[in-house]
Copies of this chain bind each other. A is one copy, B any other.
Amino acid sequence: MSQSLFYRLVSCQLRFLQTPTRTFSSTLSIRAAAKRNATMATIATKTGQVVERFVLESLLRRRLFYFPSFEVYGGVSGLYDYGPPGCALQANIVDLWRKHFVLEEDMLEVDTTMLTPHEVLKTSGHVDKFADWMCKDPKTGEIFRADHLVEEVLEARLKGDKEARGQKVEVDQEKEAKKKKVKDTKAVKLDDAVVTEYEELLAKIDNYDGDELGQLIVKYDIRNPKTDGNLLPPVPFNLMFQTTIGPSSNTPGYLRPETAQGQFLAFQKLLEFNQQQMPFASAAIGKSFRNEISPRAGLLRVREFLMAEIEHFVDPEGGKKHHRFEEVKNMELSLLDRSIQLSGSTRTEKMTIGKAVSTGLVDNETLGYFLARIQRFLLKLGIDQSKLRFRQHMANEMAHYATDCWDAELQTSYGWIECVGCADRSCGDLTVHRNRTGAPLCVRESRAEPLQIEEWQINLDKKKFGPRFKKDGKTVEAAIDALSQDLREKLALDLEKDGRIEINIEGVSTGKVELEKGLIKIEKRTRVEHTREYTPHVIEPSFGIGRILYSLIEHVYWSRPDDEARGILSFPPAVAPTKVLLVPLSNHESFGPLVQRVMMKLRRAGISNRVDDSSASIGKRYSRNDELGTPFGITVDFQSVKDNTFTLRDRDTTKQVRASEDEILKAIKLLVDGEETWEDVRKRLPEFTGQEVD
């Protein structure tokens, strides 16, 4: 290890240890984002209807997108299972992610284990810092997440105040309240000043640490809402699921809280696999875990979740340029930067990523490149661009070593939700693991031109040194080795002048040592470095697939103005759980063989489809599939039996065309591959208006 690198590592590590709190980009509170959004709970569909969350949730349960796990056993909060449509939607999102990132950028995908030994997460900081604050009621044994409790109690008081003032309480808030700890609100009017105080406090509820939350609980007399009992002061609760690996109890382990650590530990092997070429990116898709104290907000805060993470390793020298930045530089993003947030505003600014990087708002090209690629990915999925913004982290939100971090946030009925984090984590992670294990998690490359380094070097006369310091020898030598260049220069002058120097050294009995000329020599010399060694920096785009999936559902959800009771999920064809619904007009026996044949042909083309030959009306069957988000429907009728033509229905417009089997199948293939739109197909093929189908 070169000496200069050693200093960097030590200083890095010291900073790490000194940092009082470490935040974890992938686990930011969703409430923070929600607070920053003044229009929470009133989000509109593309046709301008208000998204009524309970109506949507009922649709999602009815159509089995997802449901609480272990429901027949009473359920476990924060755990959800995906049913067939949710599972297919998730698989399609993952598939698109893999194509958009891994295949397109030649990333090295790995699959690392979830079980992780203690030591690894101790080093990464998770054992000590990955925690929320909890309060216990000593009488009932109930446990509350401290910040949530303060928030809910104060919100209930504000609601009671509104009631006392005769103001209207929003319906959605009522619904929310039902899920909360605070069941009853009392109509008690508060002083205007208290209302303001509460509101200000709620806006920054995520910034309080345990002590401060404890003080708030005392100051505002916050108790167990059910029993009115006093609570113990907040204590930290580590959010990792702990277990034991193997039969003996001396190998504690955890379920990983992120996929990132496995990728960092594989760095050296991946670099070699990549034939030592930098930069490169690794990627991983897999479940991570977070033992929430009291999960809420459906799929947005769960205990087991699918993540897709990229670690792009880059040389910190040369400004972190990206060779494909040109391709994206004109893309416009909605940015909510740090300074605007500090001013108390949530106004976003539209700006090309080229400008954002060139003005220094976004730290570097590589970070900017990924922000643009993230936006393109989200739009491909069907995310509504007007409900997407990139929010820059405040300094206290980032890990101390991070250079810059932006979250892609999506607007939902829960407020603005962080769905993708994109951080420049600098060399922090590789450095701590390297320091702990000694593994060379770094890059070594020959320099085109050898580097000449002028530096103050120290030589000790070992023959005299050993006998003089005896058992202190090693301590003294290490302390001398660690002297900075500045100090060496000063000491060299002192030694020249006085013939002796004195150095303070911890760990020797006298606390300092005296060294004279002849025993020590300090000289400026030139050293030549032929290889360069550096710890790469890491740009980390980190995707919460479940959050994206839920937000996407809200974004594509709407209903027809003439039939608001029935919902439609307008997934783009590539993402839709099922692509085609096959509907025989009735259960007449002549339809069966045609349905089978078309089904087999679609299957062979890799196009997922389902047959609905139930006895419900055609219209009912189609509307069931509108709720499932199936973009296309083929009707098999008596005309089909005669001339082998079929009608093709578009979910969003409910318009139909009629054409031969081959034409219809070809159109579907082009639509699903994204090579034609419905408008293209409608222009090419004759319209059909014969049946009632919506």
Interface residues of A (CB under 8 A from B): 63-64, 67, 69-73, 76-84, 86-88, 90-91, 98-99, 103-104, 106, 108-117, 119-120, 134, 141, 143, 237, 241-248, 251, 253, 255, 262, 265-266, 268-270, 272-273, 275, 287, 289, 291-294, 303-304, 433, 437, 439, 441, 603, 606, 608, 610, 612, 614
Complex CA gap A304/B63 in Å reads 32
Contacts of A78 in B (CB 8 A): 246
Contacts of A114 in B (CB 8 A): 114, 287, 304
Whether A115 lies near B289 (C-beta < 8 A) is yes
Residue among A273, A439, A603 with max Cβ neighbours from chain B (10 Å): A273
Whether B247 lies near A293 (C-beta < 8 A) is yes
**Residue from B104, B112, B294, B304 within 8 A of A69 (CB atoms):** B112
User: Given A71-B265, A117-B76, A269-B64, does the pair A610, B106 have CB atoms closer than 8 Å?
Assistant: yes
Contacts of A108 in B (CB 8 A): 83-84
Whether B81 lies near A614 (C-beta < 8 A) is no
Whether A111 lies near B134 (C-beta < 8 A) is no
Contacts A/B (CB < 8 Å), 11 sampled? A72-B439, A72-B441, A78-B246, A79-B113, A81-B111, A82-B110, A87-B111, A143-B248, A241-B245, A243-B255, A275-B612
Contacts of A269 in B (CB 8 A): 64, 67, 83
Complex CA gap A244/B79 in Å reads 13
Whether B241 lies near A242 (C-beta < 8 A) is no
Contact residues of A: prevailing secondary structure = mixed
Whether A242 lies near B243 (C-beta < 8 A) is yes
Whether B245 lies near A608 (C-beta < 8 A) is no
The smallest beta-carbon distance between A412 and chain B, in angstroms, is 21
Contacts of A614 in B (CB 8 A): 275
Whether B104 lies near A603 (C-beta < 8 A) is yes
Contacts of A255 in B (CB 8 A): 243, 255
Complex CA gap A155/B170 in Å reads 76
The 5 closest A-B pairs by CB, nearest first: A72-B439, A82-B111, A81-B112, A84-B108, A241-B243
User: Given A72-B437, A99-B606, A269-B64, does the pair A87, B110 have CB atoms closer than 8 Å?
Assistant: yes
Whether A265 lies near B113 (C-beta < 8 A) is no
Contacts of A289 in B (CB 8 A): 115
Complex CA gap A303/B244 in Å reads 12
Number of copies: 2
Whether A113 lies near B69 (C-beta < 8 A) is yes
Complex CA gap A91/B272 in Å reads 22
Contacts of A87 in B (CB 8 A): 109-111
User: Given A115-B303, A289-B115, does the pair A72, B265 have CB atoms closer than 8 Å?
Assistant: yes
Whether B70 lies near A103 (C-beta < 8 A) is no
Complex CA gap A651/B294 in Å reads 55
Complex CA gap A433/B117 in Å reads 34
Complex CA gap A114/B134 in Å reads 25
The smallest beta-carbon distance between A288 and chain B, in angstroms, is 11
Whether B81 lies near A246 (C-beta < 8 A) is no
Whether A88 lies near B109 (C-beta < 8 A) is yes
Contacts of A608 in B (CB 8 A): 103
Whether A70 lies near B291 (C-beta < 8 A) is no
Whether B610 lies near A80 (C-beta < 8 A) is no
The smallest beta-carbon distance between A23 and chain B, in angstroms, is 21
Whether B70 lies near A120 (C-beta < 8 A) is yes
The smallest beta-carbon distance between A675 and chain B, in angstroms, is 11
Contacts of A86 in B (CB 8 A): 111
**Residue from B237, B245, B437 within 8 A of A303 (CB atoms):** B245
Beyond A73-B117, A83-B266, A83-B273, 17 extra complex contacts between A and B, CB < 8 Å: A73-B437, A76-B253, A78-B246, A79-B113, A79-B245, A80-B113, A81-B266, A83-B108, A84-B110, A84-B273, A87-B110, A113-B304, A114-B304, A243-B243, A245-B303, A246-B293, A275-B612
The smallest beta-carbon distance between A548 and chain B, in angstroms, is 15
Cβ-closest chain B residue relative to A265: B72
Whether B241 lies near A244 (C-beta < 8 A) is yes
User: Given A79-B115, A84-B110, A99-B606, does the pair A291, B245 have CB atoms closer than 8 Å?
Assistant: yes
Contacts of A237 in B (CB 8 A): 247
Complex CA gap A112/B87 in Å reads 9
Contacts of A244 in B (CB 8 A): 241-242, 291
Complex CA gap A251/B291 in Å reads 12
Contacts of A134 in B (CB 8 A): 247
Complex CA gap A603/B78 in Å reads 39
Contacts of A77 in B (CB 8 A): 246
Contacts of A91 in B (CB 8 A): 98, 109
Complex CA gap A603/B99 in Å reads 9
Cβ-closest chain B residue relative to A141: B248
Contacts of A104 in B (CB 8 A): 603
Complex CA gap A248/B136 in Å reads 10
Complex CA gap A109/B104 in Å reads 28
Complex CA gap A174/B106 in Å reads 42
Complex CA gap A141/B523 in Å reads 56
Contacts of A291 in B (CB 8 A): 244-247
Contacts of A88 in B (CB 8 A): 109
The smallest beta-carbon distance between A628 and chain B, in angstroms, is 10
The smallest beta-carbon distance between A666 and chain B, in angstroms, is 18
Contacts of A99 in B (CB 8 A): 606
Complex CA gap A432/B80 in Å reads 22
Cβ-closest chain B residue relative to A611: B106
Complex CA gap A612/B273 in Å reads 12
Cβ-closest chain B residue relative to A106: B610
Cβ-closest chain B residue relative to A61: B269
Whether A90 lies near B111 (C-beta < 8 A) is yes
Contacts of A304 in B (CB 8 A): 113-115
Whether B76 lies near A245 (C-beta < 8 A) is yes
Contacts of A109 in B (CB 8 A): 84, 87-88, 91
Complex CA gap A689/B244 in Å reads 59
Complex CA gap A287/B116 in Å reads 15
Complex CA gap A606/B246 in Å reads 42
Contacts of A90 in B (CB 8 A): 111
The smallest beta-carbon distance between A642 and chain B, in angstroms, is 28
Contacts of A247 in B (CB 8 A): 134, 143, 237, 291, 293
The smallest beta-carbon distance between A118 and chain B, in angstroms, is 10
Complex CA gap A243/B245 in Å reads 11
Cβ-closest chain B residue relative to A116: B70
Contacts of A268 in B (CB 8 A): 72
